[in-house]
Structure 1
Amino acid sequence: MTTQDTLGTLAGLDREASERLRGHRPAVTEAAEASLHALFDVPEDDEAPGLDRRLRLVAAARAAHVDGSDAVAAFYAEQLLEEADDVDAPGLAELVTGGADGEAGRAAGRAERALLRHVDLLVQRPAAATSDDLDALAAAGWGVVEIVVLSQIVSFVTYQTRVVAGLAVLQEASA
């Protein structure tokens, strides 16, 4: 069975180039794909019910946008737009690009604004995060499991942005 290679695809590589650049380490590709599915294929009985697929995709697209990865941000934004109906799509795109302080962010509920602020914090200044930041999420209505999953999403997306950037540099250097 051939494993999907989302990171290679996002870096603009075909399978052969991706495998060559990664040193033929299929376990790494498999682990990245498993993480992607574990975080975004949300079962009905998920332990983080408030963090549905739409919000997970908002968080992921926002994290990639803030991290400056157009390819990764577009990957999640495309999935987000597939989840949305035509009425919600413009507002969701604005949530991703504008964050908590953009027009859509200011119109969003307290929980979504807190989520967006936390995403920005973890991407831009992760060492500055304190227990007060976790308390702010809890005060906005997020449970412990949801906060952990949100943090895992941001961590995974920032990993993706770095691998995609690294693969692009390696590809350029080998050309």
Structure 2
Amino acid sequence: MITDVIDHLAGITPGSPLDQLRDRRPGAREHAQRSFDALFSPDSEGEVTLVERDAVAAFVTGLHRDGRVAAFYAYRLAALAPGLLTAVETEIKEGRTTGPYGIYPADGPLAAESDEGLRYRVSDPDALGARLTAAFEHAHLLVFRPREASRQALDALSLAGWTTTGIVTLSQLVAFLSFQVRVVTGLRLLNQKGSAA
């Protein structure tokens, strides 16, 4: 039983300097874990199934290229829906890029920062189904093209069967996972610097 997912993913051991560092912000530590619990172990699945949550998590963390975090969510997905994992791994390969991308208005002050980049579309919609196809495409948009989030993007989710509540949950998942990967990466770097000192 993992009591603190960030500690687990960052390799933080009880009593270590990083453990003590995190203890200085007990509220931040507690809220991060509560967010994980609410998103991945909800009292009720509601509008987003556990399989959908873990599939999106495996996809998003795979896009972030953090092997340990991605393996954690891939393992969770494999425990719930082993047949789905291969399709998710294929989509991670198809969706990998750098970013951020997006196009600003040509006459605007940020036009010079426009970058077309990859416009990801699921390669095998039949393997994922309509809901996960829409979810993956939306998640990719949020990770790599956030400046292009729009009403049209939300409408694509609605057409695939996502309710307003489900869309909010999906967006929370993507935001939390991006946060989690960054925190874990930062903590690992601190740990490496501490070990080298």
Establish whether TM, by shorter chain, passes 0.5.
yes
Residue 38 of structure 1 and its aligned partner are, at CA, apart by 0.4
What is the distance in 1 between the residues matched to 2:69 and 2:34?
A: 17
* Structure 2 match to 1:81: 78
Quote the Cα distance in structure 2 between the aligned partners of 1:5 and 1:37. 10
Look up the SS of the partner of 1:22 in the other structure.
Answer: helix
Return the alpha-carbon distance in structure 1 between the equivalents of residues 126 and 136 of structure 2.
11
Cα distance, 1:15 vs structure 2: 2.4
Q: 1:139 Cα deviation (Å)?
A: 1.4
Match of 1:66 in 2: 63
Q: Which residue of 2 aligns with 1:12?
A: 11
TM-score for both structures, normalised by structure 1: 0.84
User: Which residue of structure 2 lines up, in the alignment, with residue 24 of structure 1?
Assistant: 24
Aligned residues: 169
Q: Relative to 1, partners in 2 of residues 1:107 and 1:81: Cα closer, same or farther, differing over 3 Å?
A: closer
Instruction: Report the alpha carbon displacement of residue 103 of structure 1 after superposing the two structures with TM.
Output: 4.9
Structure 2: how far apart are the matches of 1:42 and 1:121? 25
Residue identity opposite 1:90 in structure 2: T
Asked whether the 8 Å contact 2:23–2:29 carries over to 1, the reply is no
- CA deviations over 1:93-112 (Å, ceiling 9, x no partner): 43554467465445332222
**Higher relative helix content:** 1
Q: Deviations over 1:40-79 (max 9, x none)?
A: 11444x431xx20001001111111112222211111111
Identify which of structures 1 and 2 has the higher relative contact order when contacts are C-alpha pairs closer than 8 Å and 6+ apart. Answer: 1
Q: Which runs of 4+ in 1 moved over 6 A?
A: none
Q: TM-score, normalised by structure 2?
A: 0.76
Cα deviation, 1:14-47, whole Å, max 9, x if unaligned, reads 1223323435322222111111110111444x43
Structure 1 gaps, min length 5 = none
- Structure 2: runs of 5+ lacking an equivalent: 96-119
CA distance in structure 1 between the aligned counterparts of 2:188 and 2:41, rounded to whole angstroms: 27
How big is the shift at 1:121?
A: 0.7
Cα distance in structure 2, aligned partners of 1:105 and 1:143: 20
Q: Does residue 91 of the first structure (1) align with residue 111 of the second (2)?
A: no
**How many percent identity over aligned positions?**
34
